[in-house]
Amino acid sequence: MPAPFDPGSADRSAVADLLAPAVERDGDGITRADVVLVEDDATLVEMLTYTLTNRGYACTAVAVGPDALERVKQLAPGRQAPVVLLNLDLPGLSRVGAIEQLERARPEGFRMIALTRTGSEREHVRALSAGAVDYVVKPISLMVLAAKIIRLLWDHDRR
pLDDT at 92: 83
Judge whether 106 lies within some domain.
Answer: yes
In a domain, 14, yes or no: no
Query: Does the residue 137 lie in any domain?
Result: yes
Domain membership flag for residue 19: no
CB-CB neighbours of 89 under 10 Å: 15
Report the alpha-carbon distance of residue 104 to residue 67 in Å, rounded. Answer: 16
CATH number of residue 139's parent domain: 3.40.50.2300
pLDDT digits (tens, 9 = 90+) for 10-36: 444 433 333 343 444 444 444 568 999
| Residue 158 pLDDT | 57
- Residue 17 maps to a domain: no
Range of the domain at 86: 30-158
pLDDT in tens, 82-134: 999 999 999 888 889 999 999 998 888 899 999 999 889 999 999 999 999 99
CA pair distance 34, 24, nearest whole angstrom: 10
Q: Does residue 10 form part of some domain?
A: no
Counting the structural domains of the chain, the total is 1
* CB < 8 Å & 24+ apart, contacts of 127-132: 127/88, 127/96, 127/99, 130/96, 130/99, 130/100, 130/103, 131/99, 131/100, 131/102, 131/103, 132/86, 132/99
Q: Does residue 35 form part of some domain?
A: yes
